Amino acid sequence: MNATRFGELEVLCHAPEHVTHEHPLLFVHGAYVAAWCWEEHFQPWFAHRGWSTYAVSLSGHGKSRNREHLDSYSIDDYVRDVAEVAARLPAPPILIGHSMGGMVVQKYLEQYDAPATVLMSSVPPQGLMGSAFGLMMKRPNLLSDLNNIMAGNDVNIDSLREALFYQPVDADDLLRYYHLSQPESHRAIWDMSLFNLPQPGRMHRPPMLILGAEHDALIPPDQVHMTAVTYGRQAEIFSGVGHGMMLERDWEKVAIRIADWLAERNL
């Protein structure tokens, strides 16, 4: 792994021994985390199979610029981060976005094209309101703890487990993830809720793979199907998996599906 900087942005890079795919993969993380969530499994796995892989920590996240100004960042700022990194890669990247990162990818497509995109447990183009209402009704304590994480307050580590995982997770790994987690921009959350939703009519339409998780407490399957219907696709829902698809024990099933889908398109 090579941690580097593209300007003021932290970018984690995994280079294959032999590059066998023209287009690199650029991973975009969700709320409350940073590029590290991709480095755990996905980046080395895809690099071993010939893809150059990059994961950006969006502004205010990880070791990227201005953690102290996190709340000033909007979804449009995150789109600019992705565009800044994409412009410096050797070829146009395939974009893979998780949760909030999936929303960033959708907004990116309003201005830029891509060889292909993958949305994993993505915020739907209709925004977060449906998901928030579902949490309010079914898991009010989890919604409360997510608000505490946003405010930078300590929360019960079991809330992180409930938000990200359905499968068993090693206690040491969970503690490590907990310490790597961070608040999210209130401005970005409002953008995703109401104020800056994707406009499908303005978007480029590259090949798009839409994935969800059966036991996702944050973006449940019905929200994933909404995304698929909007873009004229079929959602694929992984059974026995929670929101943190790239960190669950069955993460490799998700990686294999993405790799197979890209191979079908000679990407």
Report the distance separating Cα 10 and Cα 30, nearest Å. Answer: 15
**Which residues form the domain of 46?**
2-264
pLDDT at residue 1 in the model: 61
pLDDT at residue 9 in the model: 96
Beta strands in 29-131, from DSSP E residues, in sequence order: 53-56, 94-98, 117-120
pLDDT at residue 143 in the model: 58
pLDDT at residue 149 in the model: 58
pLDDT at residue 246 in the model: 98
Could you tell me which of 125, 174, 182 has the C-alpha nearest to residue 153?
182
pLDDT at residue 92 in the model: 98
**CATH code: domain of residue 229:** 3.40.50.1820
pTM for the model stands at: 0.94
Helical pair 129-138 and 221-230, crossing angle rounded to 10 deg? 170
Spans of the chain, pLDDT less than 50: none
Number of domains in the chain: 1
pLDDT at residue 84 in the model: 97
pLDDT at residue 164 in the model: 87
Tokens 């497509």 — which residue?
Answer: 109
